Amino acid sequence: MKFDTLHTETTRKLGKGRTAGLGFVFLWFFIGGIMHFVATETEARIVPPWMPWPVTAVLVSGVFEVLGATAILVRKTRRAAGIGLFLLTLAVTPAHIYMLQRPDLFPVPLWALWLRLPIQAALLWLILWSTRPPQR
């Protein structure tokens, strides 16, 4: 089966919106997951101090981001991967809250730290919506 045929079948079954949503979620987590390995120390700085082994947490979450991103591309694993990415997104919420509590430690404008929260809520919705089984 050619890629064009596969792409057309996927778009027809899921619709253009959900296909675009899957593409966005894939890129968000695949690129984000890779960044956990490229910028490990930077990523580890946002781990709240009460969490043990920040570098390990960054590397493990990076692995799950890449695996989850890849798994949403496969129909048989899409729903489970979506649930996993949803839970992973919830699990990193303490890092976002820590950054808001201690903005003086991070070279990010305060408005951007606040903006992350509604973006994260939208991402959670997009993950669930785009990875749900197609309606028959």
| Tens of pLDDT, residue by residue, the chain (136 residues) | 454 444 554 556 778 899 999 999 999 999 999 999 999 999 999 999 999 999 999 999 999 999 999 999 999 999 999 999 999 999 999 999 999 999 999 999 999 999 999 999 999 999 999 999 877 6
Q: What is the pTM of this model?
A: 0.87
Using CA atoms, how far residue 6 sits from 2, 14, 44, in Å, is: 6, 12, 39
Side-chain-side CA neighbours of 125 within 13 Å: the count stands at 6
Query: Are 30 and 69 spatial neighbours (Cβ–Cβ below 8 Å)?
Result: yes
